[in-house]
């Protein structure tokens, strides 16, 4: 029983850390997403369904979080 509680506690700690990291990195990626829209040469060559700047920043932040937990 104790082992089960430790794994749940560890999972909760990881979720809290992921949310903190998301909150800390989101402003950086928001600036990056805005810069991509404003910078003339930063657009990709492939046409994509255009997301909002906020959704793009969140997607970039969420994709970066797993790299923090590696190692």
Whole-structure pTM over 0.75, yes or no? no
Q: What is the DSSP letter of 16?
A: H
Structure tokens that stand for 49 in this block: 């369904």
Query: What's the rounded Cα separation, in Å, for the pair 48 and 43?
Result: 10
Which pLDDT value is given to residue 71? 63
pLDDT tens string for the chain (71 positions)?
Answer: 455 667 778 888 888 988 999 999 999 999 999 998 898 775 555 556 778 999 999 999 999 888 877 76
Which pLDDT value is given to residue 3? 55
């Amino acid at each position: 029983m104790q082992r089960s509680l430790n794994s749940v506690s560890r999972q909760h700690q990881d979720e809290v850390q992921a949310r903190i990291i998301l909150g800390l990195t989101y402003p950086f990626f928001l600036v990056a997403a805005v810069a991509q829209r404003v910078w003339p040469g930063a657009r990709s060559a492939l046409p994509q369904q255009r997301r909002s700047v906020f959704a793009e920043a969140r997607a970039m932040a969420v994709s970066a979080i797993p790299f923090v937990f590696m190692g």
